[in-house]
Amino acid sequence: MKSKLLFWINDIDGRFRDMVLLVKEWAKAHDINDSKSGSLNSYSLSLLIIFHFQTCVPAILPPLKDIYPGNLSDDLKVEKSGSAAADALTVSSNEDEDIGFDARAEPSLG
102 belongs to a structural domain? no
Considering the domain boundaries, does residue 79 fall inside one? yes
Question: What's the whole-number mean pLDDT along residues 71-98?
Answer: 52
> Which residues contact residue 27 at a Cβ distance below 8 angstroms, ignoring those fewer than 6 apart?
33, 39, 40, 45
Top mean pLDDT of 8-17, 64-73, 98-107 is at 8-17
| Cα→Cα distances 2→9, 36, 81, Å | 11, 19, 15
Q: Is residue 52 included in any domain, yes or no?
A: yes
The verdict on residue 104 lying in a domain is: no
34 belongs to a structural domain: yes
Q: How many separate domains does the chain show? A: 1
- Residue 71 included in any domain: yes
Per the structure, the complete domain to which residue 58 belongs is given by 2-88
Q: Is residue 105 part of a domain?
A: no
pTM of the shown model = 0.64
